[in-house]
């Protein structure tokens, strides 16, 4: 688990750097994969991404601690994020045993928590569609990156009080996809892999027991929303994604506009907080 977590974080840092550099680059500017803290402090930047449990959590559970190798790798993510986005207060990144396969942003403690159980679930899920262990590992990494960006979206909406009408869960899924779809073939492949998790998850959902009151869209809907954004990011290149048992043509015709609007909306919302 730990070795795989280290690999995931290395990929996450790289994806974060490229994706964020790409989406917020000025026209003509060269994206950089090694963002550094800017020399001039952003006037709104009063906090940092920090590694470990928040002071609130540590006060409640003094024994909570993270293994050093995980701390070190999360440190890389924190440094990358601190060079990219301003925060009004500190936000804590951690891995934890949660008792369920999940990930959270907790506004009370300002923590983004990725659960070990969730990473184990990704592996179990992807093994149902892929036999090669190396490919499964890549898919697990892709799902981790997507879920981390999703939780980062919840965090940014909370700390900057960003407007989000409609379901916040859908809005942050869009952010995750936009960040992953950095224009590279690798980014697109990762985005498709991560989307497949929701298709796989939908197979075990009992239709008689679906929670219509839940804040999340149904897994299958999330899957189609995600692949619509992938297709819409480059409809000409992605025509292979449309068809029977793929993205229905009726939905596909709107996806280019859906992608453009989602990207434009998130760029507008985040632009005041992006460090240059």
Residues lying near Zn ion in the complex (CB under 5 A): 169
Q: Nearest approach, Cβ of 43 to Zn ion (angstroms)?
A: 30
Measured from the CB atom, the residue of 169 and 258 that comes closer to Zn ion is 169
Q: Is 265 exposed, middle or buried (0-12, 13-18, 19+ CB in 10 A)?
A: middle
Instruction: Give one DSSP letter per residue of 55-102, joined into a string.
Output: HHHHHH-TT----HHHHHHHHHHHHHHHTTB--SS-EEEEEE--SSS-
Q: Nearest approach, Cβ of 220 to Zn ion (angstroms)?
A: 17
51 touches 81 (CB < 8 A) = no
Residue at shortest CB range from Zn ion: 169
- DSSP secondary structure letter of residue 274: B
Measured from the CB atom, the residue of 48 and 169 that comes closer to Zn ion is 169
Measured from the CB atom, the residue of 158 and 169 that comes closer to Zn ion is 169
Nearest to 232 by CA among 178, 185, 274, 176: 178
Measured from the CB atom, the residue of 139 and 155 that comes closer to Zn ion is 155
Q: Nearest approach, Cβ of 41 to Zn ion (angstroms)?
A: 31
Measured from the CB atom, the residue of 169 and 186 that comes closer to Zn ion is 169
Q: Nearest approach, Cβ of 88 to Zn ion (angstroms)?
A: 21
Q: Nearest approach, Cβ of 173 to Zn ion (angstroms)?
A: 8
Instruction: Give one DSSP letter per residue of 154-190, joined into a string.
Output: HHHHHHTT----S-HHHHHHHHHHHHH--SSHHHHHH
Measured from the CB atom, the residue of 96 and 169 that comes closer to Zn ion is 169
Give the tokens for residue 190.
């990762």
Q: Nearest approach, Cβ of 197 to Zn ion (angstroms)?
A: 14
End-to-end CA distance of the chain: 36
């Amino acid at each position: 688990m730990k070795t795989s977590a280290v690999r995931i974080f290395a990929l996450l840092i790289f994806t974060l750097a490229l994706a964020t550099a790409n989406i917020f680059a000025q026209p003509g500017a060269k994206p950089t994969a090694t963002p550094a803290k800017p020399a001039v402090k952003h006037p709104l930047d009063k906090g940092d991404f920090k590694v470990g449990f928040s002071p609130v959590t540590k006060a409640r559970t003094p024994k909570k601690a993270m293994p050093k190798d995980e701390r070190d790798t999360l440190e890389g993510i924190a440094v990358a994020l601190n060079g990219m986005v301003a925060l009004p207060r500190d936000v804590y990144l951690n891995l934890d045993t949660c008792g369920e396969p999940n990930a959270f942003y907790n506004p009370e403690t300002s923590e983004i928590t990725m659960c070990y159980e969730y990473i184990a679930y990704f592996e179990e899920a992807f093994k149902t569609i892929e036999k090669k262990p190396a490919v499964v590992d890549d898919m697990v990494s892709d799902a981790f990156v997507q879920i981390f960006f999703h939780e980062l979206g919840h965090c940014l909406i909370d700390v900057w009080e960003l407007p989000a009408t409609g379901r916040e869960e859908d809005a942050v899924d869009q952010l995750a996809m936009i960040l992953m779809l950095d224009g590279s073939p690798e980014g697109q492949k990762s985005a498709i892999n991560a989307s497949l998790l929701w298709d796989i998850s939908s197979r075990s959902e009992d239709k008689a027991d679906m929670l219509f009151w839940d804040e999340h869209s149904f897994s299958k809907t999330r899957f189609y929303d995600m692949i619509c954004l992938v297709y819409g990011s480059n409809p000409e290149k992605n025509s292979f994604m449309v068809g029977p048992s793929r993205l229905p043509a009726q939905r596909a015709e709107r996806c280019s506009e859906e992608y453009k609007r989602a990207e434009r909306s998130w760029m507008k919302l985040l632009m005041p907080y992006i460090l240059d």
